[in-house]
Amino acid sequence: MKLPLAYYGDPILRVKCSQVKEINDDIRQLVNDMIETLEEYKGAGLAAPQVHRDLALFMTFAPVRDPENPEKWLKPRLRVFINPKIISYSKDESVWGQGCLSIPKIFGDVRRPFTIVVTATDLDGNSFTEEFSDYEAQAVMHENDHINGVLFIDRLEMRERKKLEPQLRELKKKYDLIRKSEAKK
């Protein structure tokens, strides 16, 4: 089932999310629904607070480079992260244009480490520690920010953020109205 998204201005997007205590049917259902939602919106990742759930859980669907031919990108792969923690960041950085399903039509460049090491639990309850680079690392850091109440617009350079401020105010106004009318129902 496709889930309704939380949009910019929704307080759930600013919550530091709670740890997942147990991988039960509720969590498995949530992950399935989130995958469906992600496919529907053609995103590169989705975090639980973006579907109104206060849980440290997200998934990425990011293309990876062909190890045989680094110029070539392979199809995106789906990865699920439960209770993730980024345990190391590379010194080398890269700048990527970012967008977010919760902040429609807003884009900006964010500078972040190129490679990270993450420890997390998968949907089968197995913990893993793995290195991610490139596009996929950017997606993981973007989603990991979400479960800590951080949005990519917080990481823009001041000048770029200022430029987007009027659009962000409009977005918030629009979604505040929608939220109000939904709360009345």
Active site positions, annotated: 143
Size of the site for Zn ion (CB under 5 A): 1
Q: Which is nearer to Zn ion, 20 or 100 (CB)?
A: 100
CA 46/CA 66 separation, integer angstroms:
24
Binding Zn ion by CB under 5 A: which of 100, 118, 139, 147? Answer: 100
CA 75/CA 31 separation, integer angstroms:
21
Give which of 97, 122, 117 is closest to 109, Cα–Cα.
Answer: 97
Q: Which is nearer to Zn ion, 100 or 118 (CB)?
A: 100
Rounded to a whole number of angstroms, the minimum distance from the CB of residue 103 to Zn ion is: 7
Q: How many CB atoms lie within 10 A of CB 35?
A: 15
Segment interacting with Zn ion (CB under 5 A) among 31-39, 76-84, 95-103, 163-171: 95-103
**Residue 20 in contact with residue 26, Cβ under 8 Å?**
no
Q: What angle do CA 180, 152, 76 make, to 5 degrees?
A: 105
Segment interacting with Zn ion (CB under 5 A) among 70-78, 93-101, 104-112, 160-168: 93-101
Rounded to a whole number of angstroms, the minimum distance from the CB of residue 135 to Zn ion is: 14
141 near Zn ion, rule: CB under 5 A: no
Segment interacting with Zn ion (CB under 5 A) among 4-12, 59-67, 94-102, 129-137: 94-102
State the sign of the Cα–Cα–Cα–Cα dihedral 142, 44, 69, 67: positive
List contacts with Zn ion (CB under 5 A).
Answer: 100
